[in-house]
Amino acid sequence: MIDINLTGNFLISHALLPLMKDRGWGRIINISSASIFSGVAGQAHYVAAKAGLVGLTRSLASPDSDFITGQTLNVDGGMFMN
């Protein structure tokens, strides 16, 4: 679960960020889950991977980033952050 939902996103982001920076444009879209807020019985591995993905995405789009801006959209719960 961690390999697919978190490590895979990290590796593809790591590979694409230099290309996007050279072009001055690009998008990385990561899909998480509202289950990170409430948890799911028996699914701790899934929730942990999705919460890690949110952390990765927020880190990539942090205010310290000189070329990345970001939005987080969690649909299953109606949360929108800009």
Neighbour tally for 57: CB within 10 Å: 21
Catalytic residue at 46?
yes
> Among the residues of the chain, which ranges form H helices?
2, 8-23, 35-38, 44-60
Q: CA-CA distance, 33 to 77, in Å (whole number)?
A: 9
Q: Which of 13, 28, 43, 46 is catalytic?
A: 46
- Structural tokens at position 74: 């969690």
Q: Which residues are catalytic?
A: 46
